[in-house]
Every structure is written in C-alpha cells, then in structure tokens.
Structure 1
C-alpha cells in the first residue's frame, strides 16, 4: 500500500511540474511577443495615369498634371518607414513600426498621388472697403488699407487666379506648398476680430468681438 501511494504521489508531482512548466513557457512567449514592435502595413494601388519611381532617398510621382517629389531623408531621418513596390509596380506598400509616423506617411503618399492627377485648390476672400488684389505676371499686388501696396511673388510651381478683385484662387500639385503660401498671404492682413476686415479662407468663420461702447 505504501509503495502504491508513493507511486501515485510521484505521478501527481510529475503532472503538476509538467503543467507548471507549460504555464511558464506560455508566459515567456507572451512576454516576448509583447516586446516585438507591431508593424503597420498599408498597400496603395497605383492608378494607371500615375507613375512612381524611387531613386535613393527621393520618390518621384508623375501624372497628367506634372510631377512632384517626396524626400524620404527629410520626412524620415530615423528610418522608421519603408516603401516597397510590387514586381509589376502596380502596388506601393508602406511599412512602419511607428503608428504616428505611419499615419503621417500614408497621408503624404495619398496627397502626392492626388496632386499629380487632380491637384489642390485653395480660395481666399478679401474683406474690407477698398481692399482688392491685382495680378501682374507672377506678382500679386494687394491693397489692404496700408499707405502702400503689398507685393507677393508667386513661385513657378503654383498657379494663382483672381475670380474677382476680392477672391484669390491658388492651384498646385503639392498640398503642403499651397497651404503654406495661402497662410503667408492671409498673414499679410489677418482678419480683424472686431470688424472682420482682412484676408480669410473662403469658408472660414470669424467670431467677432464686441467693441467698447461709448
């Protein structure tokens, strides 16, 4: 009886040690898997009218409206992302372990492909009595209530049109560039918070403050 009880005790201890080792191994695997960086992946289908070429740190996007570049060294100095092409060059794949960088890079690539196919438009509205704009070649002349006219030179990669003397239209392939130019023109006479006079985006709403009452 004693030997039988001893054998049962030994078999139970072996089962317990085996199950304990199994739990420990699973726990170690979970810890190791949690330490591995998650890889974010997105695949872009390249339109037939768009051609993408990668050479060193520059990615060139060409389309019906022209071409634009994406500088990988400037946007990704730490090498957090990677761009790869399929064998037929019909798909562009983006990989990155950083979620924030992945979202930014994904949006940049989408904007580049849209820019060379459709472009981007930004409208500015000039508000104020006597405030107006005039275009001479590549120079924008602005009357904004100052004692002198303000001149702003437009870069060759951006097209500027005047719908009328108080509505400015900017068109370009690079969304970041025309957004920056629109911001610079707006800063030449920011909208007044009391009367609303100045340069604003066409759909921008200005919350006016009430002036001092006499």
Structure 2
C-alpha cells in the first residue's frame, strides 16, 4: 500500500478543482494548472478534498498511485504559493544581473553568459551574488535553477561556483608539499 497515495489532498481556500475523466484542472490565485493521470488510477473529487485510488493491484497501478497524489498536491501548492529555488554565486568577480527578461552572469569566463528565462518562470536578483527562481510549476522551476547552476557548478577545492542556498559542498584538501 502506498503511504503517500493513501493521504487525501485537501485544497486550500480560494482553490477550486475540476475533474474530467483522467484530467484534473486546479484554479487558484496564481493561475490554472492541469495534470492528466494514467489509466491505472481514479481521481475522485469530493468537495475540497481530492483522493486517488488505484484501479487494481498491479505493480504499475501502485506506482502511479503515489506519483499521481504527489502531482495533484503540487498543483494545489503551485497555484497558491508557488515554488522557489534560491541560488548563491561564490567566487571572486562572480555576479548576476537582470538585463530585461534575460539573466546576465559573470562567471570568470572570457565572456558574459546570457541566460534566457523560460516562459512562466520569474527570476529576480536581490543581490549581485543571489538569484531567486520562482514559478507555479515545480518541475520547471527546478529545471531552470539546474540550468543556471550548470554554467559553473561548485568545485570541491575552493567551493567556487553557483550553488543552491544552504547546499553543503564536500570540500577536499589540496596538494601537500
């Protein structure tokens, strides 16, 4: 039995949901999102509570059960609060700045990196060494943050690079004489 799948998803106040077949559409203050579940699960809407039930005991049905429940919970959280990833730039001369809708990064290369922000994602730079990625879609926010981080991942000797806030970088000892 799926421990995650058994939990019902309670929709916060101000959020409404509609189920049409295998598709659930959630509307909230930040916008509208939808998710189409596989044929192995049933989505049941009862007032402001969404429950997910497997259609059998096959391995695939049990796999889809917990995943579908997590996706519905993420839809509800996305349209109310949204998702946020914070990045830090560590290194001498490493800077970030917004240039219109693009993110301009100085990362020690001979050129500046221009990162085009995808649709539905907002990127802000509160300080030159901090980047905040926000949006309704958890997967898109995480992917955007990972793509920014990929330009200069943290290295283990000095810890320089772009890291997630509160990320621990395992430090290595340098060469000894």
> What TM-score comes out, normalization by structure 1 length?
0.73
Match of 2:97 in 1: 134
Consecutive unaligned residues in structure 2, runs of 5 or more: none
Q: 1:62 aligns with which of 14, 27, 45?
A: 27
Contact 1:42/1:95 (8 A) holds in 2: no
- Higher RCO, Cα 8 Å, sep 6+: 2
Match of 1:101 in 2: 64
What secondary structure does 1:135 align onto? strand
Aligned pairs, how many? 170
What does the per-residue CA deviation read over 1:153-187, in whole Å, with 9 as the maximum and x for residues that have no partner?
11221111111011000111111110111111111
Change (3 A) 1:71 1:150: farther
Deviates further, 94-103 or 63-72: 94-103
C-alpha displacement of 1:57: 4.7
1:207 aligns with 2:165: no
Match of 1:80 in 2: 40
Contact 2:118/2:144 (8 A) holds in 1: no
What secondary structure does 1:183 align onto? helix
Contact 2:33/2:75 (8 A) holds in 1: yes
Contact 1:49/1:64 (8 A) holds in 2: yes
Contact 2:19/2:45 (8 A) holds in 1: no
C-alpha displacement of 1:200: 0.3
Q: Quick check: which one's strand share is greater? A: 2
1 CA distance for matches of 2:27 and 2:103?
Answer: 29
Match of 2:11 in 1: 46
> What TM-score comes out, normalization by structure 2 length?
0.87
Match of 1:171 in 2: 134
Contact 1:141/1:152 (8 A) holds in 2: yes
C-alpha displacement of 1:212: 1.4
2 CA distance for matches of 1:56 and 1:151?
Answer: 43
Match of 1:92 in 2: 50
Match of 2:78 in 1: 115
C-alpha displacement of 1:122: 0.9
Match of 1:29 in 2: none
